[in-house]
Homo-oligomer: A and B are copies of this chain.
Amino acid sequence: MNEDQLTVLMIKYLKENKKSAFEKVLDELQPYDIAQLYRNLPEKHHLKFLLFLTPKEIADLIQELESDLQIEIIHRLGVEKSSKIMDLMENDNLADLLSELSVENIQEYLSVMKAEDSTYIQNLMSYSADTAGGLMTNQFMSIKDDYTVQDAVDKLKSFAEMNHTIYYLYVINDDKQLVGVVSYRDLVLADTNERISNIMFNRVISVPVDLDQEEVANLIERYDFIALPVVDENHKLLGIVTVDDVIDVVIQEANEDIEKLSASGKDIDFYTKATTAAFRRLPWLILLLFIGLISGSIISGFEETLEQVVALVFFMPMIAGMTGNTGTQSLAVVVRGLITHKLDKKTILNLIIREFGVGIIVGIICGLLIAIIALVWMGSIIALVVGISLILTLIIGTLAGTIIPLLLYKLGVDPAVASGPLITTLNDIFSLIVYFSFATAFLAYL
């Protein structure tokens, strides 16, 4: 059964009020699929659909949806029912949801929650969304270091309903400081009378609550963890970041790099409105328009040369374009490389020398090629001007595409904002200056 067939079937059950048939189908679906179904349903069926779900199922559904649909559900269900559902949500997702609501609404929901949860969520909301604190959840199980394995299993059993996603148990001391970690597997394999402190792994890697999410993702990726504990400055355990959130971070960071490299503006997807998308892209475009005009004023400085040899214009797009292309290629290597490499002086120097080498090789091959073509098309002097210009501009383009993002990085600016279009536009300017200067110098022979 494909998605469309499933949607049609569920609408039928909703219309005919067949709750048990509905539940039977729903039971086979994962939260992601239920969310897809909810998106596909016409809006008039939304309330009925929600009434057919258990609070747990609604909590799972909400965590898969976009914030506008989340808020719609919250408002449909009202404060009392919503707060029950919020109790069942993972706290990191809940904090994200609440941060979308108005201040009065937030207060209203927090006031009906358990005091403990309410405090935790207010804390979570105070951390920046792109730090370990913004990613973490309190859906983890902690045990005391003086427990036995049997004590731990008993605690687990009594909280069995709550902690459904977690694979490690974190061990804390009397001061609530993180001192070790035990996997469920360790519990299965250990003797029931064994002390937790004897079977736990005590060199736990943890992260401070204000660590950047990209660093958190790097650690999890590097060490192949499925969860990472988050601690405060006193090493008190605050929460955990799980691997599924990290995958989302990795995808988000890659998308941001591509957005910046293409200057395509933040958060534009297939469903963004045209006006929103246009106004997110316009700032970049207007900036690039003005930089593009600089090229124009440079050319106007060579007006005399141009009037004498209009044929020079024929090669202008190719030279400017090629310089932009080599710049973009170097830029991409630098931006992606920065994700996994630390930048010491030696690495930077090697990279610049390497790209200089690339520029020379690429420049000579493309320069010779175009000189031969220009020779056949236009004669020897133009061939000489175009060939030498291309060699020089390709070397400059490659170096600009390497050095500008590295400089930005060293200045603490994200190098991806040096974006393909920006490098391309700058390289336009460099290449036109080189090309027309050569042409003017050789003007007597042209």
Contacts and interface: CB of A to CB of B under 8 A. Distances in A.
Interface of A: 28, 30-32, 153, 156-157, 160, 165-167, 183-185, 187-189, 203, 205, 220-224, 226, 243-244, 246-248, 250-251, 254-255, 257-259, 261-265, 268-270, 272-275, 277-279, 281-282, 284-286, 288-289, 292-293, 295-297, 299-300, 303, 306-307, 310-311, 313-318, 320-322, 324-326, 328-333, 335-337, 339, 341, 347, 350-351, 353-358, 361-362, 365-366, 369-370, 373, 420-421, 424-425, 428, 432
Contact of A314 (B282, B297, B317): B297
Contact of A333 (B268, B335, B356, B432): B268
A269 B224 contact: no
A200 to B, nearest CB: 15
9 contacts: A32-B223, A254-B255, A258-B258, A275-B361, A278-B357, A281-B358, A286-B365, A286-B369, A306-B313
A443 to B, nearest CB: 15
Contacts of A257: 254, 258
A186 to B, nearest CB: 9
Contact of A250 (B160, B247, B332): B247
Given A167-B226, A318-B295, A247 B254 contact: no
A221 B258 CA distance: 20
Given A160-B189, A224-B244, 4 more contacts: A156-B188, A292-B317, A295-B317, A321-B424
A28 B295 contact: no
A341 B369 CA distance: 42
Contacts of A303: 310-311
A272 B250 CA distance: 24
Copies of this subunit: 2
B258 A325 contact: no
A313 to B, nearest CB: 6
Nearest to A253: B254
A341 B36 CA distance: 12
Nearest to A3: B342
Q: Is the interface of A mostly helix, strand, loop or mixed?
A: helix
Contacts of A269: 333, 336-337, 341
A362 B420 contact: no
Given A222-B32, A226-B243, A313 B299 contact: yes
A19 to B, nearest CB: 21
A274 B361 contact: yes
A95 to B, nearest CB: 18
Contact of A325 (B310, B357, B421): B421
A315 B261 CA distance: 25
A366 B285 contact: yes
Contact of A365 (B166, B221, B282, B306): B282
Contacts of A324: 421, 424
A264 B333 contact: yes
Given A261-B332, A317-B432, A357 B274 contact: yes
A321 B336 contact: no
| 4 A-B pairs with least C-beta separation | A274-B357, A254-B254, A292-B318, A262-B332
A294 to B, nearest CB: 9
Contact of A296 (B306, B318, B339, B350): B318
B262 A328 contact: yes
A358 B277 contact: yes
A385 to B, nearest CB: 14
Contact of A274 (B222, B314, B354): B354
Contacts of A350: 270
B425 A258 contact: no
A351 B25 CA distance: 33
Nearest to A28: B203
B332 A259 contact: yes
Identify which of A166, A167, A254, A317 gathers the most chain B CB atoms within 10 Å of its CB. A317
Given A274-B358, A354-B272, A316 B318 contact: no
